[in-house]
Amino acid sequence: MAAYDAVVVGSGPNGLAAAIALQQAGLSVLLLEGKDQIGGGLRSQALTLPGFVHDVCSAIHPLAAGSPFFKTLPLREHGLEFLYPALAAAHPFDNGTAAALATSLEETARSLGKDQQTYLNLLKPLVKNWPALAPDVLGPLRIPRHPIGMAAFGLNALTSATFLAKRFQTQEARGLWAGMAAHSIQPLSNLTTSAIGLVLMAVGHLQGWPVPKGGSQQIANALASYFISLGGKIETGSYVTSLAQLPQSKAVLLDVTPKQLLEIAGDELSPLYRKQLQRYRYGMGVFKIDWALDGPIPFTAAACRQAGTVHLGNTLEEIAASEQASAAGRHPEKPFVLLAQQSLFDPTRAPAGKHTAWAYCHVPNGSTVDMTEAIERQVERFAPGFRELILARHTMNTAQMQAHNPNYIGGDINGGIIDLGQLYTRPVLGISPYRTSKKGVYLCSSSTPPGGGVHGMCGYHAARRALKDVFGLAIAPLSEEK
């Protein structure tokens, strides 16, 4: 078998980012993918009818467009084009109105009436400081380069979403906030649930929430194309079950979660490290539907017909109850639904005059309950006539999600719950979250900081750690790069 400086296992966004960072440093890198198609959570396929392109997992990509690492890469030259909906996200209510996240901070604030100034006070400093804060927020725990800005962010980010929501008076602001915070995939009463809501709103105001033209697969394809252009090598259909399978190398980076790390490395890990991995906690799973539609979704609220993402859950109280129920092992009758309508802004996704839609709700980890009826009832609630447009559907429960991507343990798309107990100690408490107890073997998945999302930062930071430890190479932090 050929020898490489480094071998990366898994071609999701973090595996691809790690491979690129290593190859950029002048190493020879082999990237192994167990499936026949690269991408992990970035794959797109014809799941329903011919001519309809569906994103199997991730769909809308504010963090990819704003990733401090991806921004340094010439991905447009390798075929990636982001398309920006007029509104990043919309949140309809039963009265036929909707709140919306516009790119303009001021426009969004004005639409919230009595909460205009409260919203500005909360978001304006973060929007202003986010470009400088992003490399620290999207990385491991360390001394921040901008301590005052980080402290201000942390005071709000570490609170629960329900606590922060007390600042708002209007249904519109409270509902919009709840939908954002529910991306944390945990009860909104948990500490740290405000963090993801604040980040998503800030990047929405800075750049919007884009859709990759042609499907999420195009992000993976562009990353892979750039990696290969640097001299990297990719092999698909190479499912790794043990370190012994790998070709000789000085470093191994694994884009897997603790469960797979235990299976792959097993007895080669120290007893203490194994014990810590065994205590790692996974969060709620998802039940997902893709639709081929005969027309655009007929949302009652006009804002929903201009948004790439629509949050279906009505009030903060209803969303909080839904998320609490799912976390407690129950299946809510009115689940919070995250819906994307990519074909409204990307005509390559469906035949002329037809459309696609993508949606999921949170369910107990490992659930095989069919949530089709509950999800479609929620869409119909805010878009009467939706069901009449369905030409075909494709569903995936948590077991099917995990079969598609082994990192989605029990349907958990975040690589483990990101609550206070695992915010910076994922996967274990240690000097570096990316090192394993076996010399030369590193974890680069979303089970390391900063966690889930298509941003590649877990892979980038793991590569930096390996470059320093194994090869004695120090590369400048992203905040110092031009």
Do residues 12 and 443 touch, judged by C-beta distance below 8 A?
Answer: no
- Are 158 and 261 within one domain? no
Sequence-separated (6 or more) residues with CB below 8 Å from residue 365? 282, 283, 284, 285, 398, 409, 410, 411, 412
The mean per-residue pLDDT over the stretch 437-441 comes to: 97
Q: Which amino acid is at 323?
A: E
- Quickly state the pLDDT bin for 1 (edges 50, 70, 90): low
Do residues 393 and 291 touch, judged by C-beta distance below 8 A?
Answer: yes
pLDDT number for residue 149: 87
- Are 195 and 311 within one domain? yes
Query: DSSP letter string over 200-256?
Result: HHHHHHHH---EETT-THHHHHHHHHHHHHTT-EEE-S----SGGGSPPEEEEEE--
Burial (CB count within 10 angstroms: exposed 0-12, middle 13-18, buried 19+), residue 318: middle
- Quickly state the pLDDT bin for 449 (edges 50, 70, 90): very high
- Are 110 and 142 within one domain? yes
Token representation of residue 160? 């629960």
Of 366, 388, 404, the one marking the end of a domain is 404
- Are 72 and 127 within one domain? no
Of 353, 374, 404, the one marking the end of a domain is 404
Q: pLDDT tens digits for 356-414?
A: 999 999 999 999 999 999 999 999 999 999 999 999 999 999 999 999 999 999 999 99
Find how far residue 152's CA is from the centre of its chain. Answer: 24
Do residues 52 and 234 touch, judged by C-beta distance below 8 A?
Answer: no
**What's the rounded Cα separation, in Å, for the pair 403 and 405?**
6
Q: Which of 410, 365, 406, 449 is nearest to 256 (CA)?
A: 406
pLDDT number for residue 141: 83
The angle that helices 13-24 and 217-229 make with each other, rounded to 10 degrees, is 20
Sequence-separated (6 or more) residues with CB below 8 Å from residue 125? 149, 152
- Quickly state the pLDDT bin for 482 (edges 50, 70, 90): very low
pLDDT number for residue 479: 61
CA distances from 188 to 8, 24, 57, 148, 200 (A): 35, 40, 23, 26, 16
Neighbour count for residue 431 (Cβ, 10 Å)? 7
The angle that helices 193-207 and 171-181 make with each other, rounded to 10 degrees, is 100
Token representation of residue 148? 């005052």
- Are 204 and 299 within one domain? yes
By residue range, what is the domain housing residue 259?
4-80+212-281+411-480
Burial (CB count within 10 angstroms: exposed 0-12, middle 13-18, buried 19+), residue 223: buried
**CATH number of domain containing 322:** 3.90.660.50
- How many structural domains comprise the chain? 2
- Quickly state the pLDDT bin for 478 (edges 50, 70, 90): confident
- Are 170 and 288 within one domain? yes
Q: pLDDT tens digits for 42-63?
A: 999 999 999 999 999 999 999 9
Q: What is the DSSP letter of 329?
A: T
**What's the rounded Cα separation, in Å, for the pair 445 and 18?**
10
**How many H helices and E strands in the chain?**
15, 16
**CATH number of domain containing 464:** 3.50.50.60
Of 372, 404, 436, the one marking the end of a domain is 404
pLDDT number for residue 442: 98
- Are 342 and 465 within one domain? no
Tell me what the pLDDT averaged over the chain comes to.
96
Token look-up 């689940």 returns 335
The mean per-residue pLDDT over the stretch 451-456 comes to: 96
Neighbour count for residue 348 (Cβ, 10 Å)? 12
pLDDT number for residue 475: 81
3-class state of residue 269 by DSSP: coil
- Are 277 and 290 within one domain? no
pLDDT number for residue 224: 98
Token look-up 């966690």 returns 451
CA distances from 264 to 244, 257, 385 (A): 9, 11, 49
- Quickly state the pLDDT bin for 481 (edges 50, 70, 90): very low
- Are 29 and 124 within one domain? no
Token representation of residue 445? 């998945």
Pairing of strands 355-363, 337-340: antiparallel
- Are 267 and 234 within one domain? yes
Sequence-separated (6 or more) residues with CB below 8 Å from residue 449? 139, 140, 141, 423, 424, 426, 433, 458, 461
- Are 204 and 344 within one domain? yes
- Are 95 and 186 within one domain? yes
